[in-house]
Amino acid sequence: MTATDIISIEKLLNHPKIETAIADINSETLDRRAFVPKICQIFSNKFISLEDQPKYRFTIDREAEKQLPDIAHNNVQKLIPGAPDNEAGQNYFFKKRNIAIVFSGGPAPGGHNVVSGIFDAAKKANPESRILGFILGPEGILENRYVEITAELVDTYRNMGGFTMIKTGRSKIDSKQKMTLSRETCLGLNLDALVIVGGDDSNTNAAFLAQALKADGIQVIGIPKTIDGDIQIHTEDGETLCAISFGFHSAARAFSQNISNLCTDASSDLKYWHVCKVMGRVASHLALEAALQTHVNLTLIGEELADYVDHERLKKAQKKGEVDYTAYGMTLRHLSRLICDAIVKRAENGKNYGVMIIPEGVLEFINEIQIFIIKLNTIIAHYNQIHDLDFHTTFHSLDSKLEYLRRLSRGITENQASPIWNARDDELFNDLPSFFQEGLLVERDTHGNFQFSQVNTEKIIMDMVGDYLHILKEKGEYKVGVEESRFNYFMERTNIDPELLGKTIFRNYREGRYYLVKKKIISVKTLKQALVNAGIITESDKVPDPVLAIFKKSVPNFKTQIHFYGYDGRGSNPTKFDCTYTYNLGLTAFSLIANGATGQMAVIKNLEHHFDTWEPLGVPIAKLMHLEERKGKLALVIEKNVVDISSNAFLILQAMREKWLAAEHGEDHYRKPGPVRFQGKSEENKPLTLVLNSINPISDRHSVPEK
Ligand code: FBP
């Protein structure tokens, strides 16, 4: 490189237009930072107080009452405008505070606005208040690692995605020792309050911390975060207090845009089935939302599969006076058959391509897999409890893990036969492909949860689908329909009688728009035999080229492209809905803190309705908890909300299934949700699932949709 080259590169890089073009901060970021979310009416008041709402009823789990006695009887609290009834109340609201925030679990778009909401409200109440952010999730609390959140830091991240500002982590405060460390940190920092922004497990943590720190006067408030959408709060009387956790809308919109692009691709070159695994550790909310947004051809919903009953099997058993328990729940084999049915139907109508959505957590709802997961969770947790080195460190390779299981089933290990893992389990487990065995044996996360994102769910299912399609092809049951016009086109290039040829090779000649080659014609050899038998050609003739061309068109070539939509959407920038939702959550959290609340989750009621009706509340976390199996033991945790298969959103998907499968002549019904943006009308202003579920078909008949 010469000196002139170096100078010209420098000049190039210093050129103002180039500097602007390649700057880290682009106009999108500047626009986002400048966006000011709307605030709920209540926050225009200088002083806000809380009002108990005993009308919202929950059944308290006995264990919650026992383990969380100081917060279990909290009521739902409504934020109301109010002059304080005494001066002390006012002084308390405006006092100087130290508030710390921690992100916990996977990132979700909108988290930074929770911080900015808390920051703005706290500084408005008292500019001397300090806001701290623990670094890298709960680990930051344990290790006393934090940053002071400044106005500059807040402004950098307003309306931006991710949890980049203070990072996040999955560590859990789940032992006495960790609780002690956390208390030391909070006391050392002289904290008034700690806000935990997390999912069900992290909010469970928040409740235990609230209980532990209550005597110290340190308040703990939870915020419902997770793209999975499985934190929803419904009262005992069916009233919705929180329709969805934050981050769900943004992630679902990001996934939907990408998936809809695949719909365009699939319907352009007609050669692939795009298989989209969509995040959601357990619940299929994201898959359902993406399906409603895009109208892909096939969507699996885990919750529906769990509910499946094979009535044929039940009837058969009933005739023998027996009950067949295996008729309840779907097997992997059956699931692969259902997918094949859809693929075959589309192919019959000339569409050997399509787009399908598989929820990440679908295996959780497959009976046989669920049993393996529970058994293996228990075995691993038990092993870790009684050994110094944990299961995964001791048994590195799949072979060594399998060997341990085998010994367990024979009763050599731990000196007695395992009551959980018997020879039958071992045999069934060994029948699974090794990558799937490996998947089922992956390390559990810090909460003891099975990590579905680490398992190639879609590969497991699609391998079975591929195998079965192959069988169907061999049996002549998987064919691509040949369009009548194509048949006529080729017939014009031969002097064979179309009627004779049509009846000879098709099973539905003249019966539809797409002709299906007869089942027994599965190769050129069997094709030739059929032509010879019909007297169209003789043994010594070759199959005429136009007939060969028709046959080739009928032979399916099943090709898939596999995609995983998860981390990308989780890291996307928040939609306007999530920006507004989270900013108001931050403001709510501060109001709860400034009124002395603890053990409460900040939520916004009426998210599914017009913004003007949004109502900030504090909901007692302890009342959302129940006992669940974790790491082989019963633990008090927040109950996850999975897809309700009697909800409007699910019923609509179910009703539209046939139409969106589009196994008929004509275009598919793909919908284009478009990119997430702040301007213009292209973006729905809330998740479709929420919109649909909020509609009462009888009373809302004449209501005008929100613009
Ligand atoms: P949270 O529940 O912590 O919000 O995380 C949700 C999620 O994104 C799931 O959808 C996914 O299964 C999981 O996190 C992936 O976890 P990890 O980030 O550890 O790979």
pLDDT in tens, 266-279: 999 999 999 999 99
Cα(444) to ligand 1 centroid in Å equals 12
Q: How far is CA 630 from the centre of its chain?
A: 21
Higher per-residue confidence, 44 vs 701: 44
* Residue 417 CB partners (closer than 8 Å, separation 6+): 409, 410, 411
For ligand 1, whether the C-beta of 105 sits within 6 Å is yes
The pLDDT confidence band at residue 414, using thresholds 50, 70 and 90, is: low
Alpha-helical segments (H) within 103-247? 111-125, 138-142, 151-157, 176-188, 200-213
Looking at the DSSP bridge assignments, the partners of residue 73 are none
How many CB atoms are located within 10 Å of the residue 264 CB?
A: 11
Query: Residue with the nearest Cα to atom 12 of ligand 1?
Result: 281
Ligand 1 atom at minimum distance from 108 CA: 4
Instruction: Report residue 515's pLDDT band, with 50, 70 and 90 as the boundaries.
Output: very high
- Please give the DSSP secondary-structure letter assigned to residue 705: P
Beta carbon of 109 within 6 Å of any ligand 1 atom: no
For residue 65, give the H/E element and its range.
helix 62-67
pLDDT at 415 exceeding the cut of 60: no
Whose C-alpha lies nearest to ligand 1, atom 6? 106
> CA-CA distances (angstroms) from residue 675 to 257, 259, 260, 286, 303?
6, 11, 10, 17, 29
Q: Please say whether the dihedral angle defined by the alpha carbons of residues 231, 235, 237 and 240, taken in this order, is positive or negative.
A: negative
pLDDT of the residue at 696: 84
* Ligand 1 atom closest to Cα of residue 361: 12
Ligand 1 center to 508 CA (angstroms): 49
Q: How far is the CA of 250 from the centre of ligand 1 (A)?
A: 15
Give the model's pLDDT for residue 700: 65
The residue whose CA is least distant from atom 19 of ligand 1 is: 106
Domain boundaries, the chain: 43-81+89-246+574-630, 248-360+456-471+559-568+646-693, 367-454, 479-554
Helices within 200-301 (DSSP H only): 200-213, 248-269, 285-294
Q: Using the predicted structure, report yes or no on whether residue 193 has a pLDDT greater than 90.
A: yes
- What pLDDT shows up at residue 308? 86
In angstroms, rounded to a whole number, what is the distance separating the alpha carbons of residues 442 and 295?
34
- Determine the distance separating the centroid of ligand 1 and the alpha carbon of 570, expressed in angstroms: 9
Q: Best mutation site among 205, 279, 358 for ligand 1, i.e. most ligand atoms within 8 A of its Cβ?
A: 279
Predicted pLDDT of residue 663: 97
Query: Is it the case that residue 707 has pLDDT exceeding 50?
Result: no
Read off the pLDDT band of 118 (50, 70, 90): very high
Among 175-184, 346-355, 549-558, 628-637, the range scoring the smallest mean pLDDT is 628-637
Q: Read off the tokens for 436.
A: 């799937």
Q: Is 172 in the pocket of ligand 1 (CB under 6 A)?
A: no
Mind listing the pLDDT tens digit for each residue in 48-72?
999 999 999 999 999 999 999 999 9
Average pLDDT, the chain: 91
Q: Ligand 1 within 6 A of 565 CB?
A: no
Q: Is the pLDDT of residue 184 over 90?
A: yes
Mean pLDDT of 184-208: 97
Q: Is pLDDT of 408 > 60? A: yes
The mean per-residue pLDDT over the stretch 550-560 comes to 96
Domain 43-81+89-246+574-630 and domain 248-360+456-471+559-568+646-693, same fold? Reply is: yes
Q: Which superfamily, per CATH, for 248-360+456-471+559-568+646-693?
A: Phosphofructokinase domain (3.40.50.460)
User: Is 446 close to ligand 1, i.e. is its CB under 6 Å away?
Assistant: no
Centre of ligand 1 to C-alpha 507, Å, is: 50
Calculate how far, in angstroms, residue 281's C-alpha sits from the geometric centre of ligand 1.
Answer: 6
pLDDT in tens, 79-93: 999 865 677 778 899
Distances (CA, A) of 147 to 73, 123, 166, 167, 239: 34, 17, 8, 11, 39
| CA-226 nearest atom, ligand 1 | 4
> Which string of DSSP letters, residue by residue, matches 107-127?
--TTHHHHHHHHHHHHHHH-T
User: For residue 546, what are the contacts with CB-CB under 8 A and spacing of at least 6?
Assistant: 490, 491, 493, 494, 496
CB atoms within 10 A of CB 498: 15
**Closest Cα to atom 20, ligand 1: which residue?**
453
Q: Are 218 and 193 in contact (CB under 8 A)?
A: yes
Both tokens of 586, joined, read 């931050």
Query: For position 84, what pLDDT does the model report?
Result: 59
User: Residue 317 — very low, low, confident or very high, per pLDDT cuts 50/70/90?
Assistant: confident
3-state secondary structure of 191: coil
Which residue blocks in 74-175 are alpha helix, DSSP H?
87-93, 111-125, 138-142, 151-157
Q: Is 544 in the pocket of ligand 1 (CB under 6 A)?
A: no
Cα 338 to ligand 1 centre (Å): 28
- pTM for the full model? 0.91
Task: Report pLDDT digits (tens) over 640-671.
Answer: 999 999 999 999 999 999 999 999 999 999 99
Residue 228 Cβ contacting ligand 1 at under 6 Å:
yes
Half-sphere exposure of 244 (CA within 13 A, CB side): 31
Residue nearest to ligand 1 atom 11, measured at CA: 281
Q: Regarding predicted confidence, which is higher, 368 or 229?
A: 229
Q: Say how many Å lie between the CA of residue 625 and the centre of ligand 1.
A: 20
- Reply yes or no on whether the pLDDT at 117 is more than 50: yes
Binned at pLDDT 50, 70 and 90, residue 293 comes out as: very high
Q: Give yes or no for residue 625 having a pLDDT over 70.
A: yes
Q: Decide: 516 and 481 in contact? Cβ < 8 Å.
A: yes
> Model confidence at 432, in pLDDT bands (50, 70, 90)?
confident
User: pLDDT of 664-706, one tens digit each?
Assistant: 999 999 999 988 877 665 446 899 999 999 998 776 655 555 5
Q: Is 108 in the pocket of ligand 1 (CB under 6 A)?
A: yes
End-to-end Cα separation, the chain, in angstroms: 60
The closest-lying atom of ligand 1 relative to the alpha carbon of residue 567 is 8
HEC-encoded secondary structure of 395-464: CCCHHHHHHHHHHHHHCCHHHCCCCCCCHHHHHHHHCCCHHHHHHHCCCCCCCCCCCHHHCCHHHHHHHH
| CATH code reported for the domain at 43-81+89-246+574-630 | 3.40.50.450
pLDDT reported for residue 441: 84
**Residues with Cβ < 8 Å from 594, sequence gap 6 or more?**
48, 92, 93, 94, 97, 121, 125
What pLDDT is stored for residue 48 in this prediction?
94
Query: In Å, how far are 156, 340, 401, 475, 507 from 472, measured between CA atoms?
Result: 57, 9, 36, 5, 16
- Mutation probe of ligand 1 site: the residue of 103, 228, 458, 565 with most atoms within 8 A of C-beta: 228
pLDDT at 2 over 80: no
Q: Which residues of 376-403 are buried (b: 16+ CB within 10 A; e: fewer)?
A: bbbbbbbbbeeeeeebeeebeeeeebbe
Residue 101 parent element (H or E): strand 98-103
**Strand 193-198 relative to strand 98-103: parallel, antiparallel, unpaired?**
parallel
Indicate if the pLDDT at residue 543 is higher than 70.
Answer: yes
What is the per-residue burial (b if ≥16 Cβ within 10 Å, else e) of 592-601? bbbbebbbbb
Mean pLDDT of the region 132-138:
98
Residues that are catalytic: 228
In short, whether 110's Cβ falls inside 6 Å of ligand 1 is no
pLDDT value of residue 446: 65
Ligand 1 near 245 CB (within 6 A): no
- Cα–Cα distance for residue pair 257/290, rounded to 1 Å: 9
From the CA of 220, how far away is ligand 1's center (Å)? 23
Task: Please indicate whether residue 199, judged by its CB atom, sits closer than 6 Å to ligand 1.
Answer: yes
